[in-house]
């Protein structure tokens, strides 16, 4: 019995040592990763700041300082005058279920595959308004910045475009109506 008790004691001691080992080695591993990360970041040419500005305001500001966001009223006026081309940045499935009348589909996740096909007949001075769903509307922001990089000079973003368009009962259509 004494032998079994000492074996149990040793087992508990070994387990405690193991857990303590895991604990201090976890800290050491984190510390090593952080040191390595900061060292790599410090010596690289495209250094990332430790705290970045990720507000939507910053994201929607082009490199030359112009704001990309367009108000809903302005977008509606341009739609009525047919002075702007609307690009739907949502997925194809969402586009087929319903989109702004006359809008073309250019899903942000397929932009590499579909960019040329969708934009080959659009001149670089055409006013393009990208939209998607949601207040922050990431795909439309990303698509707008991408189009600016690709040489289109006049790109705007209609934040939460689809939801507000539906709410105001403005013209919509379904299916793939643009050949």
Partner 1 sequence: MKFAKNRKAINPELLNPEPVIGYNKTKGENLNSHRMLKLSARFILGGVFVYAGFDKILHPSAFAEVVYNYKILPDGLINLTAIVLPCLELVLGTFLIIHFWMPVTVVMSNILLITFIGALLFNMARGLDVSCGCFSATAVESSMNILTVLRDTSFLAIAVYLLYSCFFHRN
Binding characters for partner 1, 82-111, by CB under 8 A (x = yes): ---------x----------------xx-x
Query: How long a stretch of residues is the chain?
Result: 179
114 contact partners, CB below 8 Å, separation of at least 6 = 105, 106, 107
Q: Which residue in 30, 77, 117, 153 binds partner 1 (CB under 8 A)?
A: 30
CA 124 to chain centre: 24
Binding characters for partner 1, 136-165, by CB under 8 A (x = yes): x-xx--x-----------------------
**Residue 94 near residue 139 (C-beta atoms within 8 A):** no
Nearer to partner 1, 37 or 80 (CB): 37
Please identify, among the stretches 29-37, 96-104, 120-128, 148-156, the one whose residues bind partner 1 according to the rule CB under 8 A: 29-37
**Residue 42 near residue 34 (C-beta atoms within 8 A):** no
Q: Check residue 20 for interaction with partner 1 (CB under 8 A).
A: no
Q: Which residue in 45, 54, 82, 168 binds partner 1 (CB under 8 A)?
A: 54
**Residue 85 near residue 104 (C-beta atoms within 8 A):** yes
Using CA atoms, how far apart are residues 87 and 100, in angstroms rounded to an integer? Answer: 9
Q: Check residue 3 for interaction with partner 1 (CB under 8 A).
A: no
- 10 Å CB burial of residue 110 (0-12, 13-18, 19+) is middle
- Residues in contact with partner 1 by CB under 8 A are 18, 21-22, 25-26, 29-30, 32-34, 36-38, 40-41, 44, 46, 48-55, 91, 108-109, 111-112, 136, 138-139, 142
């Amino acid at each position: 019995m004494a032998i079994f008790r000492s074996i149990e004691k040793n087992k508990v001691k070994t387990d405690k040592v193991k857990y303590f080992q895991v604990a201090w080695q976890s800290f050491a591993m984190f510390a090593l990763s952080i040191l390595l990360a900061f060292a790599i970041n410090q010596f690289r040419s495209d250094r990332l700041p430790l705290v970045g500005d990720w507000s939507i305001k910053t994201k929607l500001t082009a490199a030359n300082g112009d704001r990309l966001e367009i108000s809903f009223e302005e977008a509606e006026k341009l739609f009525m005058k047919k002075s702007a081309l609307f690009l739907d940045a949502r997925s194809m499935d969402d586009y087929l279920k319903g989109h702004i009348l006359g809008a073309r589909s250019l899903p942000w996740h397929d932009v590499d595959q579909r960019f040329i096909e969708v934009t080959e007949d659009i001149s670089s001075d055409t006013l393009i308004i990208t939209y998607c769903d949601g207040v922050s509307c990431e795909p439309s922001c990303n698509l707008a910045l991408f189009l600016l990089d690709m040489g289109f000079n006049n790109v705007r973003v209609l934040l939460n475009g689809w939801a507000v368009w539906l709410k105001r009962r403005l013209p919509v259509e379904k299916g793939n109506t643009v050949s």
